[in-house]
Structure 1
Amino acid sequence: MTNVELFHYLLLLIAGASALTWLAERVSIPPAVVLLLGGCVIAVAGKGVTGMDPDLLLVAVLPPLLMSSSFYTAWKEFRGELATIVSLVLGAVTFTTVAVAFAVHAFNAGLPWAACLTLGAIVSPPDAVAAKAILQRYPLPPRLVAVLEGESLVNDASGLLLYQMAVSAALAATTITVASGTGLFFRLILLGIAVGLVCGQAMCALLVRLVDAKLGIVLTFMMAWASYGVAEAIGGSGVLSVVTCGLVLGVRQHRVFSADMRIKAKATWDAIVFVLEALVFVLIGLALHGILASVNHEGAVVMAGLRVALPATAAAIVARLVWVFGAIWLPGRLRANRTGGRAWTFGEAAVMGWAGMRGVVSLAAALALPDHFPGRDVIIFSTFLLIITTLVVQGGSLATLIRLLKLRPPARHTMSEHETRARTFGASLAALADIGKREDGIDPAMLERLQAEYRVRVTANENAHTSGEERIEHRARFLRVELELVGVSRETLLALHRAGKVDDAVLHRIESELDLEELRLLRLLEP
């Protein structure tokens, strides 16, 4: 296949992924399931591409996906549920890795322990792509959503840290001791976080100086790959570096992004992330093509794969449930009985434990195994079977489980969207009097008209919450006053968010409206 043919082939894959995603939304099936089945069809049809570097998925695809996830993380909710997230990220992932390794080795004594641990590390981090698509359809307790989304952000890092250690152990001439393994673990963490902080701060410093939105958007993509590559080059975790870099930008985005850049960046990132996620699932066919080719010549691979996949799948599902109920739900109930605090309910714990579908990161990690890795074909084949099983069984039944448990969000403790709008517009209305006093060139009639417009906005949202030609200069002054009022509304909105009175969902919705209003005014002010 020539380079031109490969390019056309990738275009067809993207077109097919788009069509499958549209079909999945029409029939209310998680897109990951449909895309994965599409990859199976490609593999069975024998249309795979050989000669692809297995590290390509980790180096080219994973950094943007991690950057996007960390950028949109609700940092305040993430911090509030940090203990539970850490328990899942470190405890559940490690427990699952060990449980899968023991279960696989019990049925496959000939498979080296390092290979069993590698498989356990590959499948230990759940993927939130399919779960998030389902969870967004149902109103769930915010803390449960925060935990699932926060866990999905960081557990990829912990799973891949264990993966790197297991691969090193399998390929090393000497056995890795507990001391050396611990040193490697902390070196990967500390260097990864340090590089991510430096890259994040550098990116923010550059973004505030860039006027062209296109350059700023390109910088965010380049920094995703740069933070990953630099961390890997000096022996740190590229995954943790990208996550840290994305968190820094996510926390500071309201200050470093202009309205124009924020709107364009969101649209660009949404499109690119969709393509990358879709391609990751469809590209399974490219990897499975080689696996199926070896299966045709060696039928034992099928039975070996099943002997590995079945215990690995059962152990991965059971281990997460055991950890959630044994290490999170039960201790929380006991503490709540003593202190009177709020513990996780049985329904919340059940959904948390069952939302353990595997996906993008597990695929990328399995496909990135070196060609000479012991049992590579069996591990990739088993990982694929495990992903299919968890996506179909757990992903297909998660919505039903939510309905049966009748989970509902608790009473709102933050301001509603209408109340937040009334407060932000009210602050601008109050500022109009001072603006009218210091701006001598403003026509009083135009000022009154602007006050009337903001009174209408405030009144409308408060009610919803409780049940001849203008001269060019005058028009420009009027528009600049409106632009200043947008800035006042934005500052008030951010202050309310910092005070904990507005949640992230309301913040992003109203901030997007203010961004659009700012763009409208800037366009009108253009000569």
Structure 2
Amino acid sequence: MFLLIGILLGLTAIYSVINERYLHLQSAIGLMLLALLTSLVLAVVSLTMHVDSISWLRALVEKLDISETLLNGVLCFMLFAGSAGVQIKSLEDKKWVILSLAIGSTLIACVLTGFLLSTVLGWFGVTLALTYALVFGALISPTDPIAALAILKAAGLPKPLEATINGESLFNDGVGVVLFTMALAFVGGSTQPTLSDAVLLFLREVLGGIGLGLIVGYITHFMLLRTNDFGTVLLITLATVTLGYAIALEIDVSGPIAMVVAGLFVGNLTAPRVAEDVRTPIRIFWKGIDDTLNSLLFVMMGFIVIFVHNLAIAPLGLSIAVAILVCLVARTISVYIPLALLTSSNVLKADAFSMTRLFTWAGLRGGLALALALSLPESPEKALIVNMTFGVVAFSILVQGSTIGKLFSPEYLKGILKD
């Protein structure tokens, strides 16, 4: 395992240098593109020269187990690090917009994606039961706009819009995991859950995650204010993430939501009261953790192409194309509905259509979707779902991510908000 992690870190470092010196792409896009090209070149060599040049790569991805690694490892660190760096004041003015998008939009997108996908695939003779289509809708609905945000900020993205995009992505990861758990219960359970069961599960996961996050955040706050030693502070924050997430898994509440809440608590209430000579290096450490894990994640996503299999080329390409189109349509509708309601009630002063266009194209999908797809129990539908998930994620990062800077000018971005 140590060797595999070393290989992954080494490849990520090499790709980062190549991207910085020659490609000049946004980091996430460049890393995934290079990893994807490596996978494809090795696959072509294996097929044309009858040389097994890809077995080591398959072993690398399988032994690292991206699903387990991300869901029960990397994700908790990334969410804590990301939320600890967000100022609550920047989210406060747009709290209703953020909550509407993180909960309402994610829920609408999940249901709409499921129904549209099952229907449209059926038109082309590809069968996917509605229950499995809803599972796909749940795992693909959360957004990961890291690449888009970096490009948009360079183009002059207004701070309120940046805070809204950031806030939505922080919370919809947790909501997406909860919806995925609920959808999976309808697929795999021996007894079908009722609507009330689903609502209770949703409330337990969300409210339980918020409650646990507040408790963990307060305990961390209490301990951090009683030490000025950098090493001790570092240990406390690492224990906060690992132990807090482990407890969430044990008591069946949302770990992602708990980590976001704990990160916001510590970053906004505790950090300002910690000594400057400790606070600065801790922030640098966690930013480094966030950047490194994001880089590793995008490289791992590029390697997942070797698992796109088990389907004939024609149905595979058709299914991916349908999934991409359905996801874009569902994202557009699911964003426009809450934004239109908020603007009509004067809660939000903005051009709802322009804002929807931005949030649709900036709504990239990331590693969480792939990890959830790969975590599905073995079934005839799993291969199709993994293939479609990879297609949507790759399209969103490589196509949407690389074109967003050209589609949205500084003037367009500044004209979205009216206040």
Query: For the superposition of Structure 1 and Structure 2, which TM-score range results when normalised by the shorter chain?
Result: 0.7 to 0.9
What is aligned with 1:416? Answer: none
| 3-state SS of paired residue (1:55) | helix
Match of 1:334 among 344, 347, 354: 344
What is aligned with 1:423? Answer: none
| 3-state SS of paired residue (1:173) | coil
Return the structure number with greater relative CO, CA threshold 8 A, min gap 6. Answer: 2
Do structure 1's residue 93 and structure 2's residue 106 form an aligned pair? yes
Match of 1:61 among 57, 74, 81: 74
Matches within 5 A, 1:90-239: 90-106=103-119, 107-108=121-122, 110-239=127-256
What is aligned with 2:48? Answer: none
Shift of 1:332: 4.3
Matches within 5 A, 1:497-512: none
Aligned residues: 397
What is aligned with 1:364? Answer: 371
1:13–1:279 Cα contact (<8 Å) kept: no
1:203–1:220 Cα contact (<8 Å) kept: yes
Deviates more, 1:8-17 or 1:165-174: 8-17
Give, as a single letter, the amino acid of the residue that structure 1 aligns with 2:391.
L
| 3-state SS of paired residue (1:236) | coil
RMSD: 2.5
- Kindly, what percent of the aligned residue pairs are identical? 28
| 3-state SS of paired residue (2:86) | coil
C-alpha distance 210-11 of structure 1, shift in aligned 2 (>3 A): same
**Residues 64-106 of structure 1 deviation map (CA, whole Å, 9 limit, x = unaligned):** 1100111112211212111111111112111111122122212
C-alpha distance 28-38 of structure 1, shift in aligned 2 (>3 A): closer
What is aligned with 2:381? Answer: 375
Do structure 1's residue 393 and structure 2's residue 399 form an aligned pair? yes
Do structure 1's residue 38 and structure 2's residue 55 form an aligned pair? no
Shift of 1:270: 2.0
**Residues 119-147 of structure 1 deviation map (CA, whole Å, 9 limit, x = unaligned):** 11111011121121112202233221121
Q: Which has the larger radius of gyration?
A: 1
Deviates more, 1:196-205 or 1:214-223: 214-223
Match of 1:403 among 372, 386, 409: 409
Residues of 1 paired with 2:397 and 2:302: CA distance?
Answer: 17
Shift of 1:158: 0.9
C-alpha distance 318-410 of structure 1, shift in aligned 2 (>3 A): closer
Matches within 5 A, 1:356-505: 356-370=363-377, 372-403=378-409, 405-408=411-414
Segments of 5+ residues of structure 1 without an aligned counterpart are 414-527
Residues of 2 paired with 1:4 and 1:68: CA distance?
Answer: 24
TM-score relative to the length of structure 1: 0.70
2:83–2:263 Cα contact (<8 Å) kept: yes
TM-score relative to the length of structure 2: 0.87
Residues of 1 paired with 2:345 and 2:208: CA distance?
Answer: 36
**Residues 434-476 of structure 1 deviation map (CA, whole Å, 9 limit, x = unaligned):** xxxxxxxxxxxxxxxxxxxxxxxxxxxxxxxxxxxxxxxxxxx
Shift of 1:166: 1.5
Residues of 1 paired with 2:237 and 2:72: CA distance?
Answer: 16
1:68–1:246 Cα contact (<8 Å) kept: yes
Deviates more, 1:155-164 or 1:106-115: 106-115
| 3-state SS of paired residue (1:126) | coil
Do structure 1's residue 317 and structure 2's residue 315 form an aligned pair? no
Give, as a single letter, the amino acid of the residue that structure 2 aligns with 1:121.
A
C-alpha distance 72-177 of structure 1, shift in aligned 2 (>3 A): same
2:32–2:301 Cα contact (<8 Å) kept: yes
Residues of 1 paired with 2:117 and 2:413: CA distance?
Answer: 35
C-alpha distance 299-231 of structure 1, shift in aligned 2 (>3 A): closer
C-alpha distance 404-56 of structure 1, shift in aligned 2 (>3 A): closer
What is aligned with 1:436? Answer: none
1:59–1:225 Cα contact (<8 Å) kept: no
| 3-state SS of paired residue (1:136) | helix
C-alpha distance 225-322 of structure 1, shift in aligned 2 (>3 A): same
**Residues 200-252 of structure 1 deviation map (CA, whole Å, 9 limit, x = unaligned):** 11111111122221221232122112211101110111111111111111221
Residues of 1 paired with 2:209 and 2:2: CA distance?
Answer: 37
Residues of 2 paired with 1:17 and 1:347: CA distance?
Answer: 35
What is aligned with 1:476? Answer: none
C-alpha distance 269-55 of structure 1, shift in aligned 2 (>3 A): same
2:81–2:289 Cα contact (<8 Å) kept: no
**Residues 156-188 of structure 1 deviation map (CA, whole Å, 9 limit, x = unaligned):** 111111111112222211212111111111111
C-alpha distance 174-42 of structure 1, shift in aligned 2 (>3 A): farther
Residues of 2 paired with 1:254 and 1:299: CA distance?
Answer: 51
C-alpha distance 363-17 of structure 1, shift in aligned 2 (>3 A): farther
Shift of 1:286: 4.6
Give, as a single letter, the amino acid of the residue that structure 1 aligns with 2:170.
L
C-alpha distance 303-216 of structure 1, shift in aligned 2 (>3 A): farther
Give, as a single letter, the amino acid of the residue that structure 1 aligns with 2:192.
T
Residues of 2 paired with 1:129 and 1:20: CA distance?
Answer: 20
Give, as a single letter, the amino acid of the residue that structure 2 aligns with 1:177.
T
Shift of 1:285: 4.6
